């Protein structure tokens, strides 16, 4: 499973007046599916949203990957604890 954030751009820039929404996704890459998604609040980033997404997921026994922004001590503690 991988956890990654993406900004929803293009048409959203017009609709949201340049305030582009950010989504954090939990993906099962081998199966090609998204098993969880969380909108990140405005004026924040992935670091604050990842713990909320992890609360929803049963990741026991899973290999969890993320990019560099997700490699924060508190996020790693949550992953190891689950």
What is the chain's pLDDT, residue by residue, as a tens digit (82 residues)?
Answer: 999 988 777 656 666 666 777 899 999 999 999 999 998 877 778 898 999 999 999 999 999 999 998 999 999 999 999 8
With CA atoms as reference, report the closest residue to 53 among 2, 16, 8.
2
The residue written with tokens 């993906």 in the block is 27
Q: What is the 3-state secondary structure (H, E, C) of 33-48?
A: EEEEEEEECCCCCHHH
pTM of the entire structure? Answer: 0.79
Pairwise CA distance, residues 29 & 15, whole Å: 30
Are 3 and 26 spatial neighbours (Cβ–Cβ below 8 Å)?
yes
For the chain, the domains span 2-81
């Amino acid at each position: 499973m991988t956890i990654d954030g993406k900004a929803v751009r293009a048409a959203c820039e017009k609709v949201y007046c340049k305030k582009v929404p950010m989504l954090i996704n939990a993906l099962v890459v081998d199966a090609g599916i998204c098993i969880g998604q969380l909108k990140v609040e405005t004026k924040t980033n992935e670091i604050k949203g990842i713990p909320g997404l992890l609360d929803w997921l049963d990741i026991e026994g899973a290999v969890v990957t993320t990019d560099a922004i997700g490699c924060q001590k508190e996020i790693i503690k949550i992953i190891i604890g689950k």
